[in-house]
């Protein structure tokens, strides 16, 4: 298939990454919403991930559509072996197995997801392939891996030596306690708005460290880890997925924006919904970032320490988020 004219793999910093061979092969079809206001491309990402955010931003500036840019951007962190919460090098489950989850949504309301995938690095691109090349929305575990291999992905050992060492140390006590703002990072969720004003997003993770084998959190679940409505806006979540799942968090944020709440108000209300079920200060973190069609941005978390990264007008910067505590 003919690749996008704006993609010159020799000039992209991700040229050495084993991303889906078809990530840019699908013709870009941008249908602009009737309610489009903001047409200057921009990117929002959970946590301090300047390289990933800038990669997506550059792609948008070169003419990429929002979904291709988001998948390209998060692939930077999926390939970062030093990041213990995403992709290769991700923390394993309690059995020592690294499994990855991801989802994507485009401006047309279509989505794809993969859960509990082993030995495949770029699961966000794989989720995009599920959306574009199957009649399904979610593929899981061995079925997702088989689909990946059929699509030209290669098997990789995802357990790094440092993650293995940390897991072996954890086994000495075996206490499962999610860490707030672990290494000031977690799931990477990314929202992109392209030159046509269309929104898309991607969310990718290795899940909670030392989780039970087979556990799936919010990240690959449309409406929880990520939700896009091109007439309204988009939102992504990060933190303890069980709490996001119980409130269908990202969908809630977008629906609040549909009811004329600003992205900031929507994020704060969604965090409040979680806190309303807690007694006292919780010992976990959840955070949301959101944007609407006007290009307004919101971010809010339960605990201090959360931040998001944005790229706009060829500038990338990290922004601390307000929090409930």
> Cα torsion for 245, 227, 77, 268, to the nearest 10°?
-70
pLDDT on residue 303: 96
- 130-188 pLDDT tens trace: 999 999 999 999 999 999 999 999 999 999 999 999 999 999 987 776 667 654 457 89
Nearest to 221 by CA among 204, 208, 234: 204
Looking at the chain, the whole-number percentage of residues with pLDDT higher than 90 is 83
**How is the chain split into domains, by residue range?**
38-323
**8 Å CB contact between 61 and 54:** no
pLDDT on residue 23: 40
* pLDDT tops 90 at residue 224: yes
Question: Angle, to 10 degrees, between the axis of helix 123-133 and the axis of helix 66-78?
Answer: 150
Fold for 38-323, please state it: 3.60.20
**8 Å CB contact between 61 and 220:** no
- 235-256 pLDDT tens trace: 999 999 999 999 999 999 999 9
Its pTM stands at 0.88
* pLDDT tops 90 at residue 42: yes
* pLDDT tops 60 at residue 14: no
Helix H segments across the chain?
50-61, 66-78, 123-133, 141-150, 161-171, 241-245, 249-258, 263-275
Give residue 282's pLDDT band: very low, low, confident or very high (50, 70, 90).
Answer: very high
* pLDDT tops 90 at residue 310: yes
List beta partners, residue 36: none
Question: Does residue 315 sit in helix, strand or coil?
Answer: strand
pLDDT on residue 4: 37
Q: Kindly report the average pLDDT of the chain as a whole number.
A: 89
Q: Is 313 exposed, middle or buried (0-12, 13-18, 19+ CB in 10 A)?
A: exposed
C-alpha 38/C-alpha 178 separation (Å) is 38
pLDDT on residue 56: 98
- φ, ψ of residue 88 to 5 degrees: the values are -65, 135
Is residue 187 among the annotated active site residues?
Answer: yes
Active-site choice (187, 204, 309, 316): 187
Structure tokens at 275: 């806190």
Structure tokens at 298: 């919101």
Cβ atoms < 10 Å from Cβ of 247: 20
Tokens 């339960």: give the residue: 302
**8 Å CB contact between 199 and 291:** yes
Give residue 13's pLDDT band: very low, low, confident or very high (50, 70, 90).
Answer: very low
């Amino acid at each position: 298939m003919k690749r996008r004219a704006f993609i010159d793999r020799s000039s992209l910093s991700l040229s050495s990454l084993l991303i889906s061979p078809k990530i840019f092969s699908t013709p870009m079809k941008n249908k602009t919403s009737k309610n489009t206001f903001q047409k200057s491309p921009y990117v929002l990402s959970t946590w301090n991930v300047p390289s990933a955010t800038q990669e997506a931003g550059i792609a948008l500036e070169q003419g990429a559509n929002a979904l291709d840019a988001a998948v390209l951007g998060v692939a930077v962190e999926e390939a970062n072996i030093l990041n213990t919460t995403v992709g290769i090098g991700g923390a394993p489950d309690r059995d020592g197995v690294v499994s990855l989850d991801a989802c994507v949504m485009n401006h047309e309301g279509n989505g794809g997801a993969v859960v509990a995938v082993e030995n495949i690095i770029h699961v966000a691109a794989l989720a995009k392939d599920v959306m574009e090349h199957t009649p399904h929305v979610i593929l899981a575990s061995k079925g997702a891996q088989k689909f990946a291999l059929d699509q030209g992905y290669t098997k990789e050992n995802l357990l790094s030596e440092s993650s293995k060492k940390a897991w072996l140390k954890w086994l000495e006590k075996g206490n499962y306690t999610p860490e707030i703002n672990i290494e000031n990072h977690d799931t990477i969720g990314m929202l992109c708005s392209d030159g046509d004003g269309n929104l898309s997003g991607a969310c990718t993770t290795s899940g909670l460290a030392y989780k039970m084998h087979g556990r799936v959190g919010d990240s690959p679940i449309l409406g929880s880890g990520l939700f896009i409505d091109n007439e309204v806006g988009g939102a992504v979540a990060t933190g303890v997925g069980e709490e996001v799942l119980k409130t269908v968090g990202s969908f809630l944020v977008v629906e609040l924006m549909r009811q004329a709440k600003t992205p900031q108000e929507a994020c704060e209300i969604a965090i409040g919904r979680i806190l309303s079920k807690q007694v006292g200060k919780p010992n976990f973190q959840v955070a949301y970032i959101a944007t609407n069609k006007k290009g307004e941005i919101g971010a809010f978390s339960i605990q201090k320490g959360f931040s998001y990264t944005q790229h706009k007008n060829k500038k990338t910067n990290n922004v601390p988020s307000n929090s409930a505590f």
